[in-house]
Homo-oligomer: A and B are copies of this chain.
């Protein structure tokens, strides 16, 4: 079954669910999932509608243009996607392979609706893993002196490979504001339970604080470090027996779980970011 999905956000008003669902019904669509949320604080309406394409009277390429007229009336931001489309993701890594391997395995297992044609790293270590999964690998080392130039090169590669989104899978480098302005569709995994321990060395600091739970946070990247809209958070219990090394080991499980779930939700069009927050339609 092939489906179309609309993610819609707009100022709240009466009749929005009716107008959105009438749009689908008027073209004979059969909704299989619809979920609507009103954010009362910001007075905005957020919606996800998914319907079967079979029997839908508009051809696929006409749905967007047709919907855009309604969207204009509603002053809505929206995004249309189809379940047989594969987004094209680029995964960026450092030396650690656990998040990358988890994403590659899930794609191979059919869990992630995506192509992953491009891996970029500022270190050479994971080239072998990229090759095992038959993905192109670029080693682009970053120094303060070369950062601007390398980001230029990265943008070229994203364009060349027609990449829809970048996943920072323990990339351990901060993207420049310029980069994010030019390519804003980036998900990062931060190795702590934000807003606890933003920035560097969260496990060392968690150890020193003597916490009883550690965590990981997947979020969209914005200009401000570790402050973008949160998609998923995972926690894992720790004890006095755990050294910093144990926290790092246990944390890997929280990191890959939070990141893979965030990427999954993102690819299923179940995440709607607005302001510095997200609606998760699951």
Contacts and interface: CB of A to CB of B under 8 A. Distances in A.
Interface of A: 12-19, 21-22, 24-26, 28-41, 46, 49, 55, 97-98, 101, 105, 109, 111, 132, 193-197, 209-213, 215, 229-233, 235, 239-241, 243, 249, 252-253, 257, 276-280, 282
A159 to B, nearest CB: 31
A276 B212 contact: no
B194 A213 contact: no
Nearest to A13: B30
A132 B131 CA distance: 11
Given A194-B196, A195-B196, A253-B257, A277 B210 contact: yes
A235 B235 contact: yes
Contact of A17 (B16, B34, B98, B257): B34
A56 to B, nearest CB: 10
Contacts of A55: 14
A17 B37 contact: no
A278 B210 contact: yes
Nearest 9 Cβ contacts at the A-B interface: A210-B277, A18-B25, A18-B21, A196-B196, A17-B21, A15-B25, A240-B279, A212-B233, A34-B36
Given A196-B196, A197-B195, A212-B233, A16 B31 contact: yes
Given A196-B194, A213-B235, A33 B37 contact: yes
A14 B28 contact: yes
A37 B105 contact: no
B193 A213 contact: yes
Contacts of A211: 194-195, 230, 233
Given A12-B30, A18-B25, A101-B105, 12 more contacts: A17-B24, A18-B26, A32-B40, A37-B241, A132-B132, A195-B196, A210-B229, A210-B230, A211-B233, A212-B232, A240-B277, A241-B282
A37 B35 CA distance: 9
Contacts of A98: 105, 109
